[in-house]
C-alpha cells in the first residue's frame, strides 16, 4: 500500500502541475502571497515617497506653418507634415541645444567679461570652463527633451523633464525646466531663421516653426503609481517563485486534503502523527 501511494505521488510530480493543483497551491499559500506583495508595496511606497527624487516637467506647443505658395493646399500641407518629422531632430541637435543650455545656465551664473560667476556660491569659471559646462548641459537637455506630434497634425509638443539635481533648490529646478522648454523653441527659430547676405541659411525651415504656448510653471511627479506597480509585480513574482520552488522540492503530505488530492480517494478518517512522552500523548487534536 505504501509503495502504491509513493508511486502515485511520483507520477504526479513527473506529470507536472494541473490547473486544479495550481489553484489549490495558490489558495493554500494565499496568506504568504498577500504578505510578500504587501511588504513589496510598502517598500515601494517608501522608496517612491522618500528616496526617489521627484521629476519636474514643462511643456510648450508649436505649430509648423504650411508654405503659402502657388502649389495646392494639399501639397503645402503634406510638405508641412514632412517637416514635423524633421523638427524633433533639429530641436535636439547640437546646433540648438548649446544655445538653450547657455540660457539655462545664465539663470545661475552672471557674466563678467570673459568669466562667469555663480550667483549662489560665488564660484568663478573661465570662459573655457563655462563652455565645457554648456556642452555637458546641452547633452543633458537633449536626453531630457521629448517631442511628439499629435495625431499626424502640424502641432508639436515639446516637453523637458529633469529630476531634482544636487545643488539645486526646488524653485531653481522649476525655473530651469520652464526656461529650457521655452528656449528650445525660441533658439530653434533663431537658428533656422538666420540670414546671410540677405538670404536664409536654412530656407527649407525658415519661418516654419511658430510657438503657440509659453510655459509659466512646471509640474512635479514622483512616479509613485509606476513604482507601486513595479513593486507589486516584484512581490507577486517573488512569492509565486517561492511557492513553486517549495512545491517542487517538497514531496510530503501535510494534510488530509493533500492525501485526497493526490490519491483521488475520499478519506473517512485518519490518525494524526503523535508521540508519547512520560505517559502523556502529544499531537494534533
Q: Which of 95, 119, 123, 124 is nearest to 107 (CA)?
A: 119
| Same domain assignment for residues 6 and 85 | no
Q: What is the pLDDT of residue 285?
A: 45
Cα 245 → chain centroid? 31
Q: What is the pLDDT of residue 109?
A: 95
| Same domain assignment for residues 45 and 131 | no
| Same domain assignment for residues 207 and 119 | yes
Provide the number of structural domains found in the chain: 2
| Same domain assignment for residues 157 and 247 | no
**Which of 176, 198, 221 is a domain's end point?**
221
DSSP H or E segment with residue 281 = strand 280-283
Q: Which of 107, 123, 105, 125 is nearest to 115 (CA)?
A: 125
Q: What is the pLDDT of residue 27?
A: 86
Q: What is the pLDDT of residue 278?
A: 54
CA distance 258 to 272: 14
Mean pLDDT, consecutive 10-residue segments, the chain of 285 residues? 50 59 83 94 91 92 79 77 92 96 96 92 94 97 93 90 88 95 96 92 91 91 91 94 83 65 67 56 47
| Same domain assignment for residues 40 and 64 | no
Q: Which of 265, 246, 271, 245 is nearest to 5 (CA)?
A: 265
Q: Residue 85: which region, alpha, beta or left (left: phi > 0; alpha: psi -120 to 50)?
A: alpha
Output the DSSP codes for 214-267.
---S-EEE--HHHHHHHHHHHHHHHHHHHHHHHHHH-----SHHHHHHHH----
Query: Is the separation of the CB atoms in 64 and 80 below 8 Å?
Result: yes
**Which of 195, 221, 247 is a domain's end point?**
221
Q: What is the pLDDT of residue 150?
A: 74
Q: What is the pLDDT of residue 258?
A: 64
Distant-in-sequence, close-in-space partners of 180: CB < 8 Å, separation ≥ 6: 58, 100, 103, 104, 141, 144, 145, 160, 162
Q: What is the pLDDT of residue 9?
A: 47
**Which of 221, 236, 259 is a domain's end point?**
221
| Same domain assignment for residues 242 and 164 | no
Q: What is the pLDDT of residue 23?
A: 83
Query: Is the separation of the CB atoms in 210 and 63 below 8 Å?
Result: yes
| Same domain assignment for residues 61 and 149 | yes
| Same domain assignment for residues 99 and 213 | yes
Distant-in-sequence, close-in-space partners of 249: CB < 8 Å, separation ≥ 6: none
Question: Which one-letter DSSP state was computed for residue 151?
Answer: G
| Same domain assignment for residues 66 and 197 | yes
- Domain range for 184 is 55-221
Residue 56 half-sphere exposure toward CB, CA atoms < 13 A:
20
| Same domain assignment for residues 250 and 185 | no
| Same domain assignment for residues 211 and 248 | no
User: Grid coordinates representing 75?
Assistant: 501639397
Q: Which of 56, 162, 147 is nearest to 93 (CA)?
A: 147
Residue recorded with cell 510530480: 13
| Same domain assignment for residues 201 and 247 | no
Amino acid at each position: 500500500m505504501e509503495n502504491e501511494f509513493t508511486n502515485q505521488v511520483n507520477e504526479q510530480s513527473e506529470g507536472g502541475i494541473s490547473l486544479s493543483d495550481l489553484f489549490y497551491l495558490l489558495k493554500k499559500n494565499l496568506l504568504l502571497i498577500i504578505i510578500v506583495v504587501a511588504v513589496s508595496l510598502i517598500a515601494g511606497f517608501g522608496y517612491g515617497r522618500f528616496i526617489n527624487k521627484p521629476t519636474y516637467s514643462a511643456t510648450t506647443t508649436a505649430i509648423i506653418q504650411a508654405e503659402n505658395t502657388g502649389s495646392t493646399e494639399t501639397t503645402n500641407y503634406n510638405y508641412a507634415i514632412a517637416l514635423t518629422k524633421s523638427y524633433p531632430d533639429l530641436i535636439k541637435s547640437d546646433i540648438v541645444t548649446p544655445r538653450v543650455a547657455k540660457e539655462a545656465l545664465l539663470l545661475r551664473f552672471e557674466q563678467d567679461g570673459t568669466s562667469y560667476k555663480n550667483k549662489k556660491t560665488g564660484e568663478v569659471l573661465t570662459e573655457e570652463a563655462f563652455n565645457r559646462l554648456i556642452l555637458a548641459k546641452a547633452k543633458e537637455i537633449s536626453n531630457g527633451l521629448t517631442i511628439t506630434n499629435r495625431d499626424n497634425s502640424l502641432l508639436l509638443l515639446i516637453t523637458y523633464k529633469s529630476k531634482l539635481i544636487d545643488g539645486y533648490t526646488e524653485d531653481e529646478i522649476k525655473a530651469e525646466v520652464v526656461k529650457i522648454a521655452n528656449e528650445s523653441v525660441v533658439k530653434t527659430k533663431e537658428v533656422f531663421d538666420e540670414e546671410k547676405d540677405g538670404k536664409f541659411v536654412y530656407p527649407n525651415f525658415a519661418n516654419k516653426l511658430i510657438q503657440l504656448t509659453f510655459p509659466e510653471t512646471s509640474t512635479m511627479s514622483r512616479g509613485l503609481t509606476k513604482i507601486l506597480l513595479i513593486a507589486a509585480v516584484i512581490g507577486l513574482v517573488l512569492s509565486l517563485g517561492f511557492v513553486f520552488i517549495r512545491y517542487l522540492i517538497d514531496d510530503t503530505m501535510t494534510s488530509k486534503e493533500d492525501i485526497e488530492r493526490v490519491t483521488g480517494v475520499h478519506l473517512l478518517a485518519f490518525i494524526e502523527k503523535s508521540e508519547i512522552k512520560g505517559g502523556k500523548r502529544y499531537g494534533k487534536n
